[in-house]
Structure 1
Amino acid sequence: MAGRQRVVAALPTLMRALRKESSLKPPVHQHQRLPSLRRAFSLYDQINLIDNVPEDQLRFQQFTDTGFTVNGVSYEGSLLCIGNLLMSWSPKKFSEINAESLSIFKMMRPIPEILVLGCGRHIHPVNPELRQFIRSTGMKLEAVDSRNASSTYNILNEEGRIVAAALLPYGVED
């Protein structure tokens, strides 16, 4: 009985401490964080995955309606990533993505095994001519919204696969 009274007496102090701790937490940013598939692995796998990611490996960390954060650096506009090479990409909307905007893949060696196409906020059907061009380079195509495209790129790149991503900002709607 005495133990229960001590617990009840300590409860208000504990509640004040918890409220104070929660008020010290930093505010939540408006930027949306990319979903992580690390939760699907055991704690041991998570530690190994984190430890084995090289410092020079590209990793998408956040996205906004106008750009992306990669390895702690914010980029505005569309991006083209090939392996661990990151560059600005000219298309501003989905209808501007064509064989010419992806012509770098005709010269690139080794050719990535997959191109992850980030269509903006919504998935768009890829026209047959563009599909044929991508297939002619030897790549497979995965067209998804830009949030999922950046996450897919992270996972495939961490696995050591040769992957490319062509990403429109998430806020782009065609």
Structure 2
Amino acid sequence: MSSLSSVIAAERGKTRLQGYLPGGFILNNTQVEGAILCLPELWLMWDVVTLRDVTIESLAILDLMAPPPEVLVVGCGARVRRLPEALTRQLAERGIAVEELDTRNALSYFNFLNDEGRVVVGALLPCSEDSGGGSSDETGRSADAAAAGGRDGGQQAPDKQQGRRERD
């Protein structure tokens, strides 16, 4: 049986996606605008705007990771789109499986794999209003709510933003 302190220590430093906004994300109690790359214990702002901007060069950090990532979870925005076949092939040659999801579901899937201790990377585009994603009143949506079957547990996004939570 593990002690509470060992459970807390295991959680320290872990990247936790908490929700999304029309132009960005909420992770580790921080609101971030734009696309992000999430590693198991680190997140970075990512200089891409659309799925067309996602290239092997924009994912160069994957080649620097040790151990290398098992899975790249791509959050494509408001709806699922496919990466170019050549890019998917290049990633497969590196031993990296690719999961393309809408961003809402990609958040929960990243958290699930990260909680399992898998070496996962999230390449996440925000749900912008251009792509039909997000909400017009700029309210936060919780990734944890989707993982909990749509229950938000009364949690609110940072800065007391009120709004609907995501549901599966």
Q: TM-score, normalised by structure 1?
A: 0.67
Unaligned runs of 5+ in 1: 1-49
Alignment match of 1:133 (pick from 85, 90, 94): 90
Q: Indicate the structure whose relative CO is greater, using CA pairs within 8 Å and at least 6 residues apart.
A: 2
The DSSP-based 3-state class of the residue aligned with 2:131 is coil
Q: Distance in 2 between matches of 1:144 and 1:51?
A: 30
Alignment match of 1:167 (pick from 101, 124, 144): 124
Q: Distance in 2 between matches of 1:173 and 1:108?
A: 31
Q: Which residue of 2 aligns with 1:156?
A: 113
Give the % identical residues.
34
Q: Distance in 1 between matches of 2:110 and 2:9?
A: 17
Structure possessing the higher radius of gyration over alpha carbons:
1
Q: Which residue of 1 aligns with 2:19?
A: 62
- The amino acid that maps onto 1:157 is N
Segments of 4+ moved more than 4 angstroms: 50-53
Q: Distance in 2 between matches of 1:125 and 1:57?
A: 28
Q: Distance in 1 between matches of 2:117 and 2:34?
A: 26
Q: TM-score, normalised by structure 2?
A: 0.69
- Tell me the CA shift for residue 126 of structure 1: 1.7
Q: Distance in 2 between matches of 1:64 and 1:53?
A: 28
- Residues 115-146 of structure 1, C-alpha deviations (whole Å, 9 max, x = no match): 00000111112211111111122110000011
The DSSP-based 3-state class of the residue aligned with 2:11 is coil
Greater helix content: 1
Q: Distance in 1 between matches of 2:126 and 2:85?
A: 23
CA contact (8 A) 1:105 1:137 kept: no
CA contact (8 A) 2:37 2:46 kept: yes
